[in-house]
């Protein structure tokens, strides 16, 4: 694992696995978007897929928790032919009253996300962007993520790796799985 430069440079990502991590509102999606824009200017869009796992966070919940601006989408530039895959994803920690409820929502999210991973694998595209990857590893396995990553020639993913969302069982699992992914990736941007 290496810490990548703080300046986005698509050339350093091409042919590698890059993971962008940080706490909420640190610019993970913004950095991924810059790399996506660079990729789209250099590659044919029919090579690129986005799996967007940003959760649907009601504004009132975000405001109550002091988290406005979280959950940004990673949408492709228009008319580029980029495959955009997403599904309704709930924010388990923010929308649950108990740890058990949060775990159940995370497990339901993982099932939906695995369908998106399968759609990517069937697409035949070899450049993969994953937004908010940590949503999957709250209940899914880093081994599954690595298996999907290995299907692509180039991967750029981002995910939560911080303290602001608590330290319960779901957060501890997510952190452990993200650490495994950080060990697997060629470049890690810490924001």
CATH of the domain at 171: 3.40.50.300
Whether residue 85 lies inside any domain: the answer is: yes
Number of domains in the chain: 1
Q: Which residue in this structure is represented by tokens 């759609």?
A: 119
Per-residue pLDDT of the chain (191 residues; tens, 9 = 90+): 455 556 778 999 999 999 999 998 888 999 999 999 999 999 999 999 999 999 977 666 666 656 655 667 899 988 899 999 999 999 998 888 899 999 999 999 999 999 999 999 999 999 999 999 999 999 999 999 999 999 999 999 999 997 766 677 788 999 999 999 999 999 999 99
Question: Which residue shows structure tokens 């824009």?
Answer: 37
Q: What's the predicted TM-score (pTM) here?
A: 0.90
Q: Is 126 inside any structural domain?
A: yes
5 in a structural domain: no
- Which range marks the domain in which residue 88 is found? 15-190
Phi, psi (degrees; rounded to nearest 5) at 93: -70, -35
**b/e sequence 103-119, b meaning 16+ C-beta within 10 Å:** bebbeebbebbeebbee
Question: Is residue 103 domain-resident?
Answer: yes
Q: Does residue 64 fall inside a structural domain?
A: yes
Q: Which residues pair with 99 in a beta bridge?
A: none
Asked if the structure places residue 173 within a domain, the reply is: yes
> Would residue 26 count as lying in a domain?
yes
78 located within any domain:
yes
């Amino acid at each position: 694992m290496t810490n990548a430069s703080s300046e986005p440079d698509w050339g350093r990502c091409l042919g590698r696995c890059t993971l962008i991590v940080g706490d909420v509102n640190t610019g993970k999606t913004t950095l991924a978007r810059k790399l996506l824009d660079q990729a789209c200017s250099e590659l044919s869009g029919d090579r690129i897929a986005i799996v967007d796992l940003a959760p649907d966070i009601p504004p009132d919940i975000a405001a109550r928790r002091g988290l406005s601006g979280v959950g940004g989408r990673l949408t492709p530039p228009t008319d580029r032919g980029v495959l955009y895959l997403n599904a309704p994803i709930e924010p388990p920690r923010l929308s649950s009253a108990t740890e058990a409820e949060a775990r159940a929502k995370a497990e339901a999210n993982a099932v939906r996300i695995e369908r998106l991973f399968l759609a990517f694998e069937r697409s035949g595209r070899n450049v993969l962007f994953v937004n908010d990857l940590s949503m999957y590893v709250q209940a899914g396995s880093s081994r599954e993520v690595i298996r999907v990553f290995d299907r692509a020639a180039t991967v750029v993913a981002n995910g939560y790796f911080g303290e602001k969302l608590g330290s319960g069982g779901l957060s501890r699992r997510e952190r452990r799985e993200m650490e495994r992914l950080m060990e697997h990736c060629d470049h890690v941007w810490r924001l």
